Structure 1
Amino acid sequence: MSFHAWAAFAAASAVILLIPGPTILLVVSYALGQGRRAAVPLVLGVAVGDSIAVICSMAGLGALLAASALLFTAVKWLGAAYLIYLGVKLWRSDPAALATAAAVPARSFAMFSHAALVTALNPKSIVFFVAFLPQFLDSGRPLLPQMAVLAATFVTLALVNAAGYACLASSARRLVRRPAVLKAVNRTGGGLLVGAGVATVAWRT
């Protein structure tokens, strides 16, 4: 794989990652409710989730999901149900409690696990890797090292992208400390997550 192929992959990945999807909606929702302290567990969760998706695609799960309508539908419904659950939970949450919550390890782990699960359970991501990565591989060279480089590049860019969205959202949160505004933010974020869950179900390969 040449440097130009890697650079093209990195540029294309950056553009794709900038488009908000279910993972970014979750990151923004948590950052608005929890503040800057949510950035680290959320970003780590996104990195772990994307790593799982890349590994699964490399292992052939992406091709299996693309070929098996039943398996693809099962994974899709599981991910959609989880997104809707998180959206309803955020909608019903107490904005005052979110604004004053202490940074306890359990809370951080919950944010980490939510971000990792939402990212990893999105079958669109796995199929995307299977369709996207091979376009930048050089068939005349060993494939595994090339795939490892592209995977590491994508996960790193996803981490940076999630961190940027989390920081922007947590900074905006400082401007909206009133309970009524926070409640509206929670309900907007919750509605977006539910909408993302519905969109995941409606998505077709």
Structure 2
Amino acid sequence: MSWEFLLTSFIVVLLPGTGVIYTLAVGLGRGFRASVAAALGCTFGIVPAAVASILGLAALLHTSALMFQVLKYLGVLYLFYMAWSILRENGALDVSDNTAKAGMWRVAVRGTLLNVLNPKLSLFFLAFLPQFITPGAGDAALSLVGLAAAFMLMTFVVFVGYGACASLARDYMIRRPSVLRWFRHAFAGAFGFLGIKLASSE
């Protein structure tokens, strides 16, 4: 595993996307433990995309316009749903102390769905992972699995870091309802923008 792969992966994981925004929102609203559940869900949501790229299914997604469009608009609808959920008083940015296991489970499942319903993630892995395979070096599939596992581990660690930083600001937000309202609208707007951006993708 090359340092080029690790550095490139780190930059990709750091870039704000749906998973980062979701983990930050959960960290601000529910605290550190919930943000770990969000990070775990987002990381687990990478598995279908990684498996698809390794098995070559992402190539079919790339060539089948209908399949891509169906998955894309499911993802768009879910992003809009997340925007609406954040705007609700008891939604993803709820600052109550309710940290029941069922709530944590829902946080993780939502994070998983954010990545599962993003067809661009499979295409990203199809284009990204093969660049770091050495031609003629043993089993390519096994190497791809190792790269995907490293990418997922890095995603989890970085997202937990994002969640920890967000949870530190939670008490500040609880004491300032106007700031909380601003963050609700900002995160909802971010999810809405990502939904529009995904809808316009080809």
* Bucket of the pairwise TM-score, normalised by the shorter protein: over 0.9
- What are the superposed Cα offsets for residues 109-163 of structure 1, whole Å, 9 maximum, x if unpaired? 1100000010121111110100111111123121122111101111011111211
Which residue identity does 1:137 align to in structure 2? I
After TM superposition, the runs of 4+ consecutive aligned structure 1 residues lying more than 3 A away are none
Query: What is the DSSP-based 3-state SS (H/G/I as helix, E as strand, rest coil) of the residue aligned with 2:95?
Result: helix
* Partners of 2:19 and 2:79 in 1: CA distance: 9
- With 108-117 and 179-188 compared, the bigger mean Cα shift is at 179-188
TM-score scaled by structure 1?
A: 0.91
Count of aligned positions: 199
Tell me if 1:104 matches 2:94: no
* Structure 2 unaligned residues grouped into runs of 5+: none
* Contact 2:43–2:156 under 8 Å retained in 1: yes
* Structure 1 unaligned residues grouped into runs of 5+: none
User: How high is the sequence identity, in percent, across the aligned residues?
Assistant: 32
Partner of 2:146: 149
Partner of 1:185: 183
CA apart distance, 1:60:
1.9
- With 173-182 and 27-36 compared, the bigger mean Cα shift is at 173-182
Tell me if 1:200 matches 2:186: no
TM-score scaled by structure 2?
A: 0.92
Which residue identity does 1:54 align to in structure 2? A
* Partners of 1:22 and 1:41 in 2: CA distance: 15
Once the two structures are superposed, the pairs formed by residues 1-205 of structure 1 within 5 Å of their partners are: 3=1, 6-94=2-90, 98-140=94-136, 141-177=138-174, 178-204=176-202
* Partners of 1:196 and 1:93 in 2: CA distance: 22
Query: What is the DSSP-based 3-state SS (H/G/I as helix, E as strand, rest coil) of the residue aligned with 2:172?
Result: coil
- With 178-187 and 160-169 compared, the bigger mean Cα shift is at 178-187
* Contact 1:32–1:172 under 8 Å retained in 2: yes
* Contact 2:19–2:42 under 8 Å retained in 1: yes
CA apart distance, 1:174:
2.4
Query: What is the DSSP-based 3-state SS (H/G/I as helix, E as strand, rest coil) of the residue aligned with 1:76?
Result: helix
